[in-house]
Every structure is written in structure tokens, then in C-alpha cells.
Amino acid sequence: MLQVNSTKPLTAIEPALVQAAQRRGISVLSVVHLGRLLEGKMPEPGSDAIVFTICRPDLSAALLAAEIRFASFVPCRITALERDGAVTLEALTPLEICCLLDRRDLEPKAAPLESFLVEIMEEAAHSVAESKASSAIQGSGLGATEGMVNARAAIPQRLDSRGTKVEEIAGTGQHDAPGG
């Protein structure tokens, strides 16, 4: 099992890991906060966990094409565990999966995915990468990036039965300026 101890609190791991993955072309498919999901019923007091499901399609496809049983392990999962204030990132490595499936011949195909996992976990766990990333974002003048936008509460366009947008046909009342 790959383990990286973090110098960051658990709340800072999520944005750091998402940014580290996106910089390497890896998609973060899901983020599950187990403490919220289990509503405070974690097995140990003072413990919490966040599970990240990540995927690099080209590397995952190569492993799945060679051995379909990799589907039980790909996409990969990284878990951020908090115990008594200390945070550790853990992941089952693709090379260990090769051993579990008795397919050591696939280790060359699994090695690039493992190196991405190590890079992402190291960058997310240590504050040096965060300061570099935040200075790069501040220096670029960019605000929120696409991965930071939450469209959960977005209001969809309202269309009538003919496909006309309601906003386009909204009339101008006496209280509105002409051309409204």
C-alpha cells in the first residue's frame, strides 16, 4: 500500500489533490466524504476519511485491454485518512494489483499509472506544491477554473413549447425602460 503523510489538514487535501490530478491530465471522478456520509458514525472518535476516485483513461484502458479483472481496481482510489489530527494519503498501487491478479507481466503497463499516483499524492500532501500552485494562479490573473465551478444550483434556460427562450420574449412593462 502506498502511504504519504501530509503536513496539511484534511480540509486542505481535497482542493490540493484535485489540482494535482488535473495538472497531470487525470480526471477526478468522485469525492466521497465518509464522515458526512456516515453522519458522525466513524469507527474511531477524531477520525475521518475522504475517498477520491481518479482515472487516466489511456493508462487505464491499456490495463483493462490486457486484463479485464483490472476493472475491480480501475479507476484508482486515493483515500485521505485523518486520525487524531494527522492526515495520511493511501492508495493500493497498480503494481500490487498486478501481484493480486497474478499478472506480473503487466507491471510495465502499470508502472506509469503508479508513478502518477505517487506524484499526485506527494503534491497534495505537502504545502510546497500548494504555495507554488497558488502563486501560479495568482500570477496568471485567473479566477475559478472549470474544475472549481459547482453547477449544482444553476438555473436552466426556460423555454416555451416552441423552443423560444422566455428571457427573449419578456415584454417591457410600463415600469421598464423601452427595449427592456
With a pLDDT cut of 70, the percent of the chain lying above it is 67
The pLDDT of residue 129 is 42
Q: Report yes or no on 158 lying in a domain.
A: no
**Domain of residue 122, residue span:** 2-148
Write the pLDDT tens digit of every residue in 5-16: 988 888 888 899
Point out the residues of the chain with pLDDT beneath 50.
129-131, 133-142
The pLDDT of residue 105 is 92
Q: Report yes or no on 175 lying in a domain.
A: no
The pLDDT of residue 130 is 45
Q: Report yes or no on 83 lying in a domain.
A: yes
Q: How far is CA 173 from CA 91, 144, 159, 164, 180, in A?
A: 61, 37, 21, 20, 8
| Closest listed residue to residue 26, CA positions, set 114, 158, 135 | 114
The pLDDT of residue 72 is 86
Residue 23 is classified by DSSP as H
Write the pLDDT tens digit of every residue in 135-144: 444 444 445 5
Q: Report yes or no on 119 lying in a domain.
A: yes
Q: Report yes or no on 144 lying in a domain.
A: yes
Q: Report yes or no on 174 lying in a domain.
A: no
Residue with cell 485491454: 65
Q: Report yes or no on 160 lying in a domain.
A: no
Q: Report yes or no on 59 lying in a domain.
A: yes
Helix (H) / strand (E) element for 88: namely strand 86-91
| Closest listed residue to residue 76, CA positions, set 125, 42, 119 | 119
Q: Structurally, how many domains does the chain consist of?
A: 1
CATH of the domain at 108: 3.30.310.70
CA-derived radius of gyration, the chain: 22
The three cell numbers of residue 90 are 493511501
